[in-house]
Structure 1
Amino acid sequence: MSLWGDFTLEQKVGQLFMCGFYGQQVDEQITRLIQDYHVGGVIYFRRNVESVEQLTRLSAELQGLAAKSSELPLMISVDQEGGMVARIDKDGITRVPGSMALGATGHPDYTYQCARILGAQLKRIGIDMNLAPVVDVNNNVLNPVIGVRSYGENAENVAVHGAAAIAGYQSSGIAATAKHFPGHGDTAVDSHLGMVTVPHEWERLEQVELRPFRRAIEAGVDAIMTAHVIFPAIEPEPIPATLSRNVLHELLREQMGFKGIIITDCLEMHAISKPYGVANAAVRAVKAGADLILVSHTLEEQIAAVDAVVEAVRHGDIEEHIIDLALERVVDWKQKRCGDQSSEQSSEQSSMPYSFSSVPENVLLDEIACKSITVVHNDGVLPLKPEQNVFVVWPEVVQRTEVDEPWSHSDSLGMVLGQYNKHVREHKITTQPSYEEAERITKSVMEGEQVIVCTYTSAGVLPKGQRYLIERLSVNHSLIVVALRNPYDLLEVPRPGAYVCTYENTPAVVRALSLLITGELNPSGSLPVRLS
């Protein structure tokens, strides 16, 4: 008899769902989902996190709750990609660099080290699965949702770094999740907000979009997350990959030979929820070949989705053996990742093609930051001359989105530069400054000051206020422009005296940037994307 041989239909279906909730402790929503609907997985968001200690207790309490009604442990996951996408932003969890910063270093060893460090920390607080790495190839300037979450636009480089991240996570006993299959990099619409189509022919998809996923499968990735994106070359009907049996079963499972867990992206995203409805989409995703259905937020939608799949089995719309096959993969994973990892970890690590540094984590982060910063061009304005008067414009990131988690440190570039040069003034702006504010800043710059404008773009287009500010300041000044996130910002502004890309605004990056500006750092980062 299998571990789940005596499960009722409701228990089997519940195990195929991963759900989020709103509390920082066990609340009515998650209690009901686990006890009454038998959900087998939980996803954490920033709303669930007060501290690492609190989250560790929460994980234990959730597992205790699950143990009362099931022999199977919960699968607890989080989106902790690194860089600007990090749900846990507390002491005790290392804020590792994001994917594009790692891609700019050209060293997959760094990617492995960061994933291994982060994986071990997540494991200690009771998290079993990281919904990372992103292995989308970002080759669309206007992509509003992937961008710096990708290792770059070269498919082979993305594949190499993705495999390194997978090795790092899984050597720490935590599941890696390659996403978003078959590829979300060449899109100009955020699937959180609407439907997306990638119109390329099969040959192009094979060469670019699918290449990192093939490498991820070769690397033994535990899970692959689907994209809410339409691929006409794979699925002739206008339906997204998440709901397509041609994509999930025929391509990923049969042709590419993936044996692990296929997990959907959240079905409450508008690309799915608006045209299909969450409950209907859950049924279609299971029929398409998904093993784990992600419904992240709303209790009513979560309950409706579980009930819809149960009823679809009872009425013959889903054959029960499809549920059994999916459950078998989930159970196998839980037995593999939720138990004692010591023997498996040592076995995996013995064959790692990557090196692991023994330097302290803060030293490693500083080293990676110094190796990632990229000087795209410099017309002689860098480095600054000693005692040169400097005026810095610094954008404060306060608005949180699904793919942008503001870093809560207080050190701006002006503050750090002030430690090296007493003649530094700084003006802080929002990421959406008004034209009036831009005019005030322009008038406040004194003659002879070297102006450094830092830009921040969380979507695919530089905000109009930031663009206008640069245009006004460039009339009378040779600017140093620093893209703190999106390297494509250069395409929207007049050519500055120097252009620098950092890919994120974490503390290690700000420290490295100050060293570059003052001449203490010789930059070695290479652009992972083309600015053309």
Structure 2
Amino acid sequence: MTWFAGATRRAVVVAAAASAILLSGCALPSPQPTNTATPRPAPSPTPTATDPLAGLSVEQRVGQLFMVGTAATVAEAETVAAVRDRHVGNVFLAGRSSAGTVATAAVTAQLTALVSTESTAGLPLLVATDQEGGQVQVLRGPGFSDMPSALQQGSLDATALVGDAKAWAAELSSAGVNMNLAPVVDLIPSPAAAASNPPIGAFDREFGFDPATIVAHSKAFRDGMSAGGVHSVIKHFPGLGAVTGNTDTTAGVTDTTTNTQSDSVGIYRSEIASGATSIMVSSAVYALIDPTAPAMFSPVVVNGLLREQLGFTGVVMTDDVSGAAAVAAWSPADRAVLSILAGCDIVLVSRTPAVAAEMVDAVVARARTDPAFAELVDAAARRVIALKSGR
């Protein structure tokens, strides 16, 4: 969950996992090596007559597949280096800031000024944050509204929410932010279950407790953000509403009830049909879909369910792979490579930007030696560039 990744900048030390993590009566295998067969690329936007990758080096193509965090109050040196030296094409404002729009704009301007032919081939940065509302609002202060929680937003008329979200997007845009990792569309079974759902219900991040309410208000939120010039990323596929652990602080968080036909998955089918362009995949394990790996490392979840069964052709983003306990058993290099192999397009390195260099280098090395993996990189880069260009 990206908001937690920003809640603190101190590293989370997670003890090395035992040889297996018990999941619903079965064991989760030890992290898999990355020298597995590379799948065929998932569907991507049809290239125009001018290939958007023409003239881009392998390093620049790979750079488009990463989003690296920085404190919302300062452009941290590690993040600056990631953009300048490793061609990273996207950044995330983390933590909490009460400095307001003007101060935030100064931070984002420092980062966007790094864009050059040598760094990101002149392609613009996606500058993202978590501006959901309520307890999950990274940016506050002069120029930013105090946003109600998603649960409160869910009680509003959807038409009114479009207008509110457009105003919130205008505030983000004025601060140089063009992507919001929101809204949350996770389905909690009932109000009574919210308190025992640490990642979502405990913070009122849900629009409501039925698919119709969630879908209507998510679309309203997305429409408002789009009207204000900000991309939305819905999260966390295939749903965190049924878990009882927080993947940021707990390894082996497992959903034992969600399957491919669950209402939580159906919400994403509706979201895709109504124009969702970006989806974040969770780091929980889904025992009835693929019990062998966190969702964002699973080709079954990403390529099989999200892309092939639900037909999603937009940008798929991981949840944080840098500091979450759910992925601590894998090396940073393997986290990045496995995400791309699963079908993800943007690897989110929000909590611990220091590991970005190792991740980027691992993906570049694999792309240089594995032509099939290089095709996956190219397909993902095309989807990211298409989103940036509005196609």
Same-fold status (TM-score > 0.5): yes
Q: Which stretch shows the higher mean deviation, 35-44 or 296-305?
A: 296-305
Q: Which amino acid aligns with 2:274?
A: A
* Shift of residue 198, structure 1, vs aligned partner: 1.3
Q: Residue 42 of structure 2 aligns with which residue? A: none
* Shift of residue 27, structure 1, vs aligned partner: 4.2
Q: Indicate whether 1:115 and 2:155 are aligned.
A: no
Alignment equivalent of 1:223, drawn from 278, 281, 285: 278
Q: Residue 25 of structure 2 aligns with which residue? A: none
Secondary structure of 1:19's aligned partner? strand
* Shift of residue 111, structure 1, vs aligned partner: 2.6
Q: Paired residues, what number? A: 333
* Shift of residue 173, structure 1, vs aligned partner: 1.9
Alignment equivalent of 1:29, drawn from 75, 78, 102: 78
Q: Indicate whether 1:177 and 2:228 are aligned.
A: no
Contact 1:272 1:281 in 2 (8 A): no
Q: Indicate whether 1:135 and 2:185 are aligned.
A: yes
Report the structure number with the largest CA radius of gyration.
Answer: 1
Measured on the aligned residues, the alpha-carbon RMSD in Å equals 1.9
Contact 1:279 1:304 in 2 (8 A): yes
- Once the two structures are superposed, residues 5-30 of structure 1 have per-residue CA deviations (whole angstroms, 9 ceiling, x without a partner) of 11111111111100012473444222
- For residues 303 and 318 of structure 1, what CA distance do their matches in structure 2 show? 23
Q: Indicate whether 1:102 and 2:153 are aligned.
A: yes
Secondary structure of 2:214's aligned partner? helix
- Are the structure 2 counterparts of residues 61 and 226 from structure 1 closer, same or farther at C-alpha, using a change threshold of 3 Å? same
* Shift of residue 165, structure 1, vs aligned partner: 1.1
Q: How do residues 419-434 of structure 1 correspond to structure 2 at under 5 angstroms?
A: none
TM-score if structure 2 supplies the norm length? 0.80
- For residues 136 and 330 of structure 1, what CA distance do their matches in structure 2 show? 24
Q: Which amino acid aligns with 1:187?
A: V
- For residues 27 and 239 of structure 1, what CA distance do their matches in structure 2 show? 32
Q: Residue 206 of structure 1 aligns with which residue? A: 261
Alignment equivalent of 1:296, drawn from 341, 347, 350: 350
Q: Which amino acid aligns with 1:8?
A: S
Q: Indicate whether 1:158 and 2:207 are aligned.
A: no
Secondary structure of 2:264's aligned partner? coil
- Are the structure 2 counterparts of residues 113 and 212 from structure 1 closer, same or farther at C-alpha, using a change threshold of 3 Å? farther
* Shift of residue 201, structure 1, vs aligned partner: 5.6
- For residues 127 and 170 of structure 1, what CA distance do their matches in structure 2 show? 13
* Shift of residue 68, structure 1, vs aligned partner: 5.4
List runs of 5+ in structure 1 lacking aligned partners: 338-532
Post-superposition, which runs of at least 4 consecutive aligned residues in structure 1 deviate over 4 A?
none
- For residues 258 and 101 of structure 2, what CA distance do their matches in structure 1 show? 46
Contact 1:196 1:271 in 2 (8 A): no
- For residues 47 and 37 of structure 1, what CA distance do their matches in structure 2 show? 26
- For residues 145 and 103 of structure 2, what CA distance do their matches in structure 1 show? 17
TM-score if structure 1 supplies the norm length? 0.60
Q: Which amino acid aligns with 2:385?
A: V
- Once the two structures are superposed, residues 181-203 of structure 1 have per-residue CA deviations (whole angstroms, 9 ceiling, x without a partner) of 0000111101111222111263x
- For residues 301 and 333 of structure 2, what CA distance do their matches in structure 1 show? 20
- Are the structure 2 counterparts of residues 126 and 201 from structure 1 closer, same or farther at C-alpha, using a change threshold of 3 Å? closer
Identity %: 31
- For residues 100 and 233 of structure 2, what CA distance do their matches in structure 1 show? 24
Alignment equivalent of 1:264, drawn from 308, 318, 327: 318
Alignment equivalent of 1:92, drawn from 139, 143, 166: 143
- For residues 113 and 170 of structure 1, what CA distance do their matches in structure 2 show? 11
Contact 1:175 1:221 in 2 (8 A): no
- For residues 211 and 239 of structure 1, what CA distance do their matches in structure 2 show? 22
- For residues 200 and 48 of structure 1, what CA distance do their matches in structure 2 show? 37
Q: Residue 53 of structure 1 aligns with which residue? A: 102
- Are the structure 2 counterparts of residues 191 and 23 from structure 1 closer, same or farther at C-alpha, using a change threshold of 3 Å? closer
